[in-house]
Amino acid sequence: MRILFVCLGNICRSPTAEAVMADLLEQEGYSGQIEIDSAGTGDWHIGNPPDRRAVEAASKRGLSMTSRARQVDQSDFERFDLIVAMDSSNHQDLLLMKNGDGAEVRLLREFAEGGSLDVPDPYFGGDDGFNEVLDMLELNLKALLEQVSGDA
């Protein structure tokens, strides 16, 4: 199973989701069985590290964020089995990019909370937004792992 997490710039939500999932995979014994990555639909931050506020919030929970921002490309739809969007805008962009078969594209908060709820972008807010995002990611990524672990 290969999973790609996607937000707008790939410096806040999606690399945080990647870090949370990496930790969950290690805890649950799935390291090496489920491949994960993150990307953005936009190109503004390509090559940049995650936002320092995201890194700090994750670090306080014992998570390490080492990825570099990249943009989603067409090959991702073939390389990954599941592409998980952080919000409905990125979900729509991904569906428009997808040509035919390939990865399933879903919203993250569908896994535990149902509906088409967005993970809010904390970029323009205060530090509390990064902690709220972490809470949402932890809840929904645990549910995602439960659903896909049989496919690992």
Which are the catalytic amino acids?
A: 7, 13, 121
Who's near 29: CB < 8 A, 6+ residues apart? none
Q: Report the alpha-carbon angle 7-8-9, nearest 5.
A: 105
CB atoms within 10 A of CB 117: 16
96: exposed, middle or buried (C-beta count within 10 Å: 0-12, 13-18, 19+)?
exposed
End-to-end CA distance of the chain: 5
